[in-house]
Amino acid sequence: MTPKRFKKIKATLIQRQPDLTVLTADIHKTHNISAVIRTCDAIGIFQMHAVSPNGEIRRHHMIAGGSRRWVDVKTHKNIDDAVQTLRNDGWLLAAAHPCANARDFREIDYTKKVAILLGSELDGLTLKTVQAADETIELPMEGMGASVNVSVAAAVILYEAQRQRRVAKMYTQSRLSRAAFETALFEWSYPEIAERCKVRGLPYPQLTEEGAMKSNPLA
């Protein structure tokens, strides 16, 4: 770990947004999952959510390029459990789904604690899931097609969220708890050692200002 690399990791982590997330429901195509994860990293999402009954999202997650290290993916067995978990945690649920009462995606206040719900490539979100959301949003369409690719929709919506949050200066200092920041900082800096510490039940060592470990936890 070089001081320059550590500085970049720390600066990136400072901009992570703990109160903006995405919930993907049964997105199966590898390139779509990978694209969504990469966009989440680019926007500064700290953790995203995915419905993954058989754990297949983890296989997709492992091939999402370098972004796989920087975005934590929390999986859920079904969409109902996922929605309830987010609601219990105080998230405003915005379902991306074209319908008669959907609002332009730019009309939503993304500086709030917002979770964007995205459906599968073929069927989108179920009616039950849309009805469970607090808001329904859509991308205005001027062409013959009724929708765009789910990864494209994710990118367009998330960049609007980033725009609003930049205006509100939500990227200027860390908004993670100190414990969450320090944990993520070590795991991002030393992923292999962090994994071995988890297996052995060992605490992470403290880091110096240059990113060096103050002690060797595996010695």
CB of 119 closer than 8 Å to CB of 96: yes
Taking the chain, what is the end-to-end CA distance rounded to the nearest angstrom? 18
Question: Radius of gyration of the chain from Cα atoms?
Answer: 18
Confidence category of residue 30, pLDDT binned at 50, 70, 90: confident
For residue 96, what pLDDT is reported? 94
The larger pLDDT score, comparing residue 135 to residue 120, is at: 135
Confidence category of residue 59, pLDDT binned at 50, 70, 90: low
- Half-sphere CA count of 122, side-chain side, radius 13 A: 3
Cβ burial, residue 65 (10 Å; 0-12/13-18/19+): exposed
For residue 125, what pLDDT is reported? 87
Tens-digit pLDDT profile for residues 153-191: 999 999 999 999 999 999 999 999 999 999 999 999 999
Annotated domain spans of the chain: 1-16+174-219, 17-167
Residue 211 has pLDDT above 90, yes or no: yes
Give CATH superfamily name and number for 17-167: SPOUT methyltransferase, trefoil knot domain (3.40.1280.10)
Tens-digit pLDDT profile for residues 61-117: 555 555 568 999 998 989 999 999 999 999 999 999 988 889 999 999 999 999 999
What mean pLDDT do residues 3-15 have?
A: 96
Q: How far is the CA of 23 from the CAs of 43, 86, 169, 213, in angstroms?
A: 15, 9, 24, 35
Please tell me whether the overall predicted TM-score, pTM, comes out greater than 0.95 for this model: no
For residue 62, what pLDDT is reported? 52
For residue 57, what pLDDT is reported? 63
For residue 141, what pLDDT is reported? 83
